[in-house]
Amino acid sequence: MIERYTLPEMGRVWSEAHKYQLWCRVEVGVLEAQARAGTVPAGAVEPVRSAPPPTPEQVAAAEAVTDHDVIAFLNAWADNTTPRSAAAYVHYGMTSSDLLDTALAVQLAAASDILVAKASRLVAVLRDHALRHAGTLRPGRTHGVHAEPDSWGHRVADFAFGMARCRDRIARARDAVAVGKLSGPVGTYSHIDPAIEAEVMAALGLRPADVATQVVMRDGISEWLAALALAATVCEAVALEVRHCQRTEVREVAEPFRAGQRGSSAMPHKKNPIRSERICGLARVVRGYLIPVMEGIPLWHERDISHSSVERIALPDAATATDYLLHLTAGLVEGLTVDTARMRANLDLTGGLIYSSAVLLDLVSAGMTREDAYALVQAAAMDTWDDGTPFRDSLRKQAAARGQRLPENALDSAFRPQRYTRRLGPVFERLARLS
């Protein structure tokens, strides 16, 4: 992931230097366990443990010769070990994927912890914003068209609960990826004892795979990436709502626009929803990695490495982009400007058409058949659409033309927007308990 979208904490998890530190940690853990079991000389442990991890530059130089990243790492690390002969017992009984999959599991678990914390912050930001605007009336929209009155808090509450579910999915997916293996070539433990695997995994905060071949099957990693893709997409849902509502014709909410910010190189009046658009774009990137990662589940026999090149790009990128998306979306909502007066003005934009469903029900309650009531209300609504006559006047006109009596008193409550939101109390009570 490019530096522009990389936050420091997540960047450290996926840095090359940190990766080699993890590789050393795994190898030292195995070496110590092997020495305690009497499989390797105890004297080999301290020289290896004291050897500094090789730098990315050292490994790259070695890999230019070996064309094999793990052997390059082992050779470069051996060069840092005094005496070098102690390094002979590093990687004893292991295969490359023992190291790669186990260290990757530690990275995925660490990345998950960061993402869960960021998602929890976003849940809190959305929750608090929604509660502040529980009574802020606005037009609800379906198909982009005014539907019925709603509250802005109700709309945001949907995002808050959605993000809470995404956070919980990431937490569950963390368990699915916190799995390593130290079972050697094709996973048969032919050169390493299962007790070594159990001991090292516990020290790393992982659990041994129930079964592994040369690699850990990639269904858990796919589950993890799917959880990230869902979280990114809920961020996109928030951003898309802001983009729609910031349009000039709507202008109900607006992104923060700081002093000195510029919206356009050509049009000085512009205040564009650039954060929201960035969120929508990056969410596509995260979703785009899911299928290539899933295709790492079916491999040739005990393993091939067709998954490896994909995961080197997809896993760090998806984690880093999702981390940035959660951070950016929280900042977007925290700084959001809500124009309550404009929301209320938009309720009246169609001359009362937004109250048609309540009118329909009130006419039925007053004794009119549903068919007659629907025909009357729809005809009046079309008149209002066509010529801008206030909806209540159109209702009177259509009722007179049909020889029907319009129960004026019964309709009074139909034109009160609070009627539509008065039963949302339980939603906001649940929202207040959301953490």
Predicted confidence (pLDDT) per residue in 228-285, tens digit:
999 999 999 999 999 999 999 999 999 987 776 776 666 777 688 999 999 999 999 9
CA distance between the termini of the chain:
30
Given a cut of 90, is residue 158 above it in pLDDT? Answer: yes
**Mean predicted confidence (pLDDT) in 98-106:** 98
Determine which of 107-121, 139-153, 266-280 has the lowest per-residue pLDDT on average.
Answer: 266-280
- The set of residues, in sequence order, having a beta carbon less than 8 Å from that of 255 and lying 6+ positions away, is 242, 246, 271, 273, 274, 275, 276, 332, 335, 336, 337
Concatenated DSSP letters for 160-178?
Answer: HHHHHHHHHHHHHHHHHH-
Is residue 177 within 8 Å of residue 220, measured between CB atoms? yes
User: Predicted confidence band at 326 (pLDDT cuts at 50, 70, 90)?
Assistant: very high
- Average pLDDT of the residues of the chain: 95
Catalytic residue among 50, 190, 264, 365: 264
- Nearest one of 95, 84, 120 to 182, comparing CA atoms: 95
pTM above 0.75, yes or no: yes
In order of their start, the domains of the chain are 3-89 (1.10.275.10), 96-260+267-339 (1.20.200.10), 350-423 (1.10.40)
Predicted confidence (pLDDT) per residue in 170-213, tens digit:
999 999 999 999 999 999 999 999 999 999 999 999 999 999 99
Residue 264 pLDDT = 66
Given a cut of 70, is residue 93 above it in pLDDT? Answer: yes
Predicted confidence (pLDDT) per residue in 12-27, tens digit:
999 999 999 999 999 9
Residue 151's H or E segment, with its range, is strand 145-151
Mark whether 133 is an active-site residue: no
Catalytic residue among 143, 265, 269, 301: 143
Given a cut of 90, is residue 310 above it in pLDDT? Answer: yes
**Mean predicted confidence (pLDDT) in 409-430:** 90
Alpha helical stretches, state H, 67-95: 69-79
Mark whether 143 is an active-site residue: yes
Q: Which residue has the tokens 């190291």?
A: 99
- The set of residues, in sequence order, having a beta carbon less than 8 Å from that of 372 and lying 6+ positions away, is 404
